[in-house]
Every structure is written in C-alpha cells, then in structure tokens.
Amino acid sequence: MTENDAIPSMPRYINKDAIDAAQPLVRSDDQRKIETICQPLHISNNAAHVVEKRILACVEQGLSQEHHEKSSIRCFPTYVQSLPTGKESGAYLAVDLGGTNLRVMLVTLFGSRFEAPEISLQHFQVPENVKKSAGNAVFQYIVNCIAEFLGKEGITKSNLPLGFTFSFPCEQRGLTSAILTRWTKGFDCPDVVGQDVCVMFNKALSERQDISVELKVLINDTAACVVSSVWRRKSCRIGLIVGTGCNACYLEQIENIELWDEAERQRHPFSVINTEWGAFGEYGELDFILTEWDRAVDKASSNPGEHIFEKMTSGLYLGEVVRTILLTLVDKRLAFRSTKVDNLRKNGAFSTTHVCQIEQDPIGEFRRCKLALAEALGHKDQIEEEDCYTVRYVCEEVTRRACMLLGAGIAALARKMDFGELVIGVDGALFRNHPLFYSIMKKKITQLMGADFEFELVQSREGSGFGAALMAAVLANQ
C-alpha cells in the first residue's frame, strides 16, 4: 500500500455552493474550548454503572436495621400497603404541598377505572416568606387554602376524607403519623423538623370551625404517583418525580424491610418505600463526578451539603447549574462577548423553565432561546446566534447528565425488584415540560439494563393530588 492509498486524496472540486449554504457560527477552536470546559459534565457508561451500583448499595443499607440511619438513601416505609382496584367511588379531597405550588383538589370517583373521575383543582403559589417561616404559619397557610377552595366550590359536606401529599422526607409511623426529618426544595421552617406533621396539620385544621375534613393519609408525592398510576395501569411498581425536587419510590417485599419488626412484617406482602434518593451523594458517593459548578450551586442553596443527587437532576437546580457554567464561559471570554450579562450574575436569573424552552427550538432556530435569554439577561439587546448555540449546548449537557443519573437510579431499583416487566409512573414539571427527558432517560435505562428488559415510562398527570385522593378513597372503603 502506498502512502497515497492510505490517506484519502483531497477533492479536486470544491463545492462552493454547498459550502456557502451554511457556515459554522461558533468558531471551531472556541467550540473545542467550550467542550473541554464542559467535559466534566459527561457521564461515561462506566460512571453511570458505578452510580447505579452505589444507589443499589445505599438502597440496601436504607432498608437495613443496622445502616438505615447512616445511608444517604433512607428508604422510608410509607405504610401504603393497599393499592386502588379501580372500584373506588365517592368524593375525596386532596391537598398537595410539594414545592413551588400548593394544590387543592376535589376528586369524584365513579367506581370504575374506565369512567373518568371528575376533578376540580385550584393552584396556589406558596409565598417565599411562608416557605421560611414558623411551622404554624405553614400549616395555617395550607388550611386557609383548603378553606378558600371549599368556599369557592360551595362544598359544605362534613368530614370530607382528605389525602395530604406532603413531599418532604418523613419517617412515617403510620398512615397519619409522619416525623419530618428535614426540609428540602427551599423550604426552611426549623421548628417543624422532628415534629409530627400530621399533628401540626390537624391542629391548624381544628382552629378553623368553618371547615370539616378528616385527614385519612399523609403521603409522599412519589407514593401518590404510584397509587394514581396503578389506578390506570395495574403493573406500575415505581413512582418517579422529576419536578422541583427529585425522588422515587417502589414496591418492596415485606421480608426485605428490616426496619419493621416481625409482627408488622406479617401483615401485608409489600409496602411502598419512599427512597428519598435525592439525598444520595451526601456521603461522597457522587464526588467522583461532581463538578465545581455543582459545588457552587450546593453551597448557595438553602440546604448545603444535603440532597446532592436532587441538585443534579431536578427543576429547582438545573437552571442554576447552567447559569453557573455560563458565567465560567463568560469569564473565559467564550460566551456573550458583546452582550451585557450583569443580570446573569444574580442567583436564580436563569431557570429550568428556560432550559426546557431552549431545548424546544429546532436546531438552528432560536426563537424560544432568544425569549428565554432576554428574560434571563434582563434586556432585549440583540443576542448573537453564536451565543445561542453555546447556551443550548450547555443546557443539553446538563439535562443529558440528569437523565443519565436518573436512568442509573431507575436501573438500580429495577434490579432490586427483579421484575421481568415494569411500568414506571412519572410525574413532575421538568419531566413533562422538557422535550427530550423522556427519550434520553428511556435510552439510558435500556443501555444500563440491556435490550431484553421490558419497561414503560408512563406519565402521570396531577398524580400527586389524584393519588392522595385515591388513597383516601382506598382507606375510606376498607
């Protein structure tokens, strides 16, 4: 073989027309520099596999008597041990406190899963001062929202059964007893930690003579997601929330739940376990892939050092991670060289909603991207398309990493359950509003579990509230 055969010869004819049709906007040496800087965000197959194994190990520890307290994945039993059959009927109230919004919902069920339930719903935006107040103020706020809803709907029925979705880590002692272990997602009302949330809620209820509801169950949003998904699809066994926060629950066989004593274990074949996997990484399990940007976002959060996995995968944080990376690129003069970026230096200036918007544009078009950037930068000055490409690239890297990590988490739970075929109910605004989350996660789970593994990711809408109302129905009918 001569040297000329090995190296493809240069084309004799240069297709100028085709080349003129499009020119790269990001100079390739800048692009390379940006890629090198962002390289730490890339999760290799090997890293994803390591994360999967470590999550599985922490789940095992969380379930065990000996290691439960020290596991970053606590695996709290939820006491949800009966699931809906589809035959539930009647009217039930749900109140759902999870993050950005509080929702109150009245659900009327008609005794068949083929008959659509009637749902009326009201959203309330939880004021920032309530998120960081005394516990009494939080529960009074919730009860006031319930009263407003009942008044608006003209509901006067007494002892209306209520399901309360409370999406924060709780050590449950029963269906209506839950000790808050910590706040997450920007809430910080220190006097509630270590207290029974149900007692505080009931106290606030008893102070209002004008409403008559009966708390039937306190439930985490992941468990509510499973309950609502099972109502539609019997084979659902995992509930995943990818919203303001991130967490998963799954059905565990009772003999594997060491936390419960023998007597408790005899009663039911399974319990839904709230993994609280958002806390994974607190004991260094994710240090090998944490970046300087993750550390900065964690440090500036309301709960530094806690819920590390959540900060790499959920809506409250992904925008912040992107913003922090963009600032690095700005400081290295690789982005926004001719645009004012002072506003971008403010915490929270770039949100995960912006990330979702930006990734919705077709490649090469930046209509949504420019709108999002005008908001984030706080001005409508012309934005170079070169910068739009860069911003989109960073958004994609951050969401891809989140999907990889979530895929690893789901793979770990799937192995724990050893199921041949699995339905996973998923809820949360990030999963719903991001155009690619579903497909990237699906692909990653397939890669990690192998092509023979059969599973479905099924979106559950308003599952948090609906699941709580359904659970109240299951209990009321028992």
Among 52, 96, 221, 320, binds ligand GLC (CB under 6 A): 221
Asked if 163 is part of the footprint of ligand GLC (rule: CB under 6 A), the reply reads: no
Among 165, 220, 228, 275, binds ligand GLC (CB under 6 A): 220
Instruction: Write out the two tokens for 119.
Output: 């749902």
Instruction: Write out the two tokens for 22.
Output: 């499009």
- The piece of 79-87, 237-245, 332-340, 346-354 that touches ligand GLC (CB under 6 A) is 237-245
Asked if 172 is part of the footprint of ligand GLC (rule: CB under 6 A), the reply reads: no
Give least dist CB 285 to ligand GLC, A. Answer: 16
Question: Strand 421-427 and strand 236-242: pairing?
Answer: parallel
Q: In sequence order, which ranges of 165-217 are alpha helices (DSSP H)?
A: 197-206
Asked if 409 is part of the footprint of ligand GLC (rule: CB under 6 A), the reply reads: no
**CA-CA distance, 433 to 430, in Å (whole number)?**
5
- The piece of 110-118, 153-161, 166-174, 281-289 that touches ligand GLC (CB under 6 A) is 166-174
For residues 219 and 468, the answer to whether their CB atoms sit within 8 Å is: yes
Among 26, 94, 215, 241, binds ligand GLC (CB under 6 A): 241
Binding mask 266-305 for ligand GLC (x = CB under 6 A): ----------x-x---------------------------
Among 72, 184, 301, 357, binds ligand GLC (CB under 6 A): 184
Among 243, 425, 463, 465, binds ligand GLC (CB under 6 A): 243
**CA-CA distance, 328 to 27, in Å (whole number)?**
18
Asked if 310 is part of the footprint of ligand GLC (rule: CB under 6 A), the reply reads: yes
Residue appearing with tokens 């690789």: 334
Asked if 168 is part of the footprint of ligand GLC (rule: CB under 6 A), the reply reads: yes
For residues 403 and 49, the answer to whether their CB atoms sit within 8 Å is: no
- Which of these, 418, 461, 394, lies nearest to 35 by C-alpha position? 394
- The piece of 29-37, 197-205, 241-249, 440-448 that touches ligand GLC (CB under 6 A) is 241-249
Among 62, 77, 98, 463, binds ligand GLC (CB under 6 A): 98
**CA-CA distance, 75 to 82, in Å (whole number)?**
18
Asked if 239 is part of the footprint of ligand GLC (rule: CB under 6 A), the reply reads: no
Asked if 228 is part of the footprint of ligand GLC (rule: CB under 6 A), the reply reads: no
- Which of these, 254, 256, 220, lies nearest to 240 by C-alpha position? 220
Q: 160 forms bridges with which residues in the sheet?
A: 213
Instruction: Write out the two tokens for 409.
Output: 């988490």
Active-site annotation holder among 96, 196, 221, 294: 221
Per the annotation, the verdict on 70 as an active-site residue is no
For residue 182, how many other CB atoms are within 10 A of its CB? Answer: 18
Of 326 and 405, which CB lies nearer to ligand GLC in the complex structure? 405
Asked if 245 is part of the footprint of ligand GLC (rule: CB under 6 A), the reply reads: yes
Site residue total, ligand GLC (CB under 6 A)? 18
- The piece of 217-225, 358-366, 404-412, 413-421 that touches ligand GLC (CB under 6 A) is 217-225
In one letter, which amino acid is 161? P
Asked if 313 is part of the footprint of ligand GLC (rule: CB under 6 A), the reply reads: no
Q: In sequence order, which ranges of 207-314 are alpha helices (DSSP H)?
A: 221-232, 262-267, 292-300, 308-313
Each residue of 316-335: b (16+ CB within 10 Å) or e?
bbbbbbbbbbbbbbbeeebb
Of 271 and 328, which CB lies nearer to ligand GLC in the complex structure? 271
DSSP string, 331-379: HTTSS-TTS--GGGGSTTSS-HHHHHHHHHSPTT--HHHHHHHHHHHTS
Asked if 222 is part of the footprint of ligand GLC (rule: CB under 6 A), the reply reads: yes
Per the annotation, the verdict on 152 as an active-site residue is no
Helix (H, G, I), strand (E, B) or coil at 419: coil
- First-to-last CA distance in the chain? 82
**CA-CA distance, 370 to 382, in Å (whole number)?**
9
Give least dist CB 222 to ligand GLC, A. Answer: 5
Q: Any idea which residues carry the catalytic annotation?
A: 185, 221
Please report, as ranges, the residues that interact with ligand GLC according to CB under 6 A. Answer: 98-99, 167-169, 184-185, 220-222, 241, 243, 245-247, 276, 278, 310
